[in-house]
Amino acid sequence: MMSGLQSNTFDNIILLCDSYKVSHYSQYPAGTEFIYSYFESRGGRFPNSVFFGLQYILKKNLVGQVITHEKIDEAKSILLSHFGRDIFNEEGWRYIAN
């Protein structure tokens, strides 16, 4: 268990989502191998939006080893504290880290 935050949680891609999404893996039917996702604007003040910053996001979050065992430990601790029970897919994240 961590005593306080050891790093900047905004630097941990595992934690960069709405917290309820952490449990989605357990809702997929057995044998699921592929998931396709997309995103879109929910609307707002302006009729159009500009997609900007993809190169920065990709380089910051998807280049090199961004998932480490330390970040997995941090996410597990924070999410356990947040939910009060263990719903974190530790096995899946360890697979990615290895």
Task: Return the C-alpha torsion angle 13, 88, 91, 14, nearest 10.
Answer: 0
93 in any annotated domain: yes
16 in any annotated domain: no
Which pLDDT belongs to residue 1? 46
Q: What is the average pLDDT across 63-75?
A: 95
90 in any annotated domain: yes
- The total of structural domains in the chain comes to 1
Average pLDDT, the chain: 88
85 in any annotated domain: yes
Residue 2: how many other CB atoms lie within 10 Å? 12
pTM here?
A: 0.74
24 in any annotated domain: no
Residue 48: how many other CB atoms lie within 10 Å? 6
For residue 43, is pLDDT > 90?
no
92 in any annotated domain: yes
89 in any annotated domain: yes
Q: What is the average pLDDT across 23-32?
A: 92
CA distance 62 to 43: 28
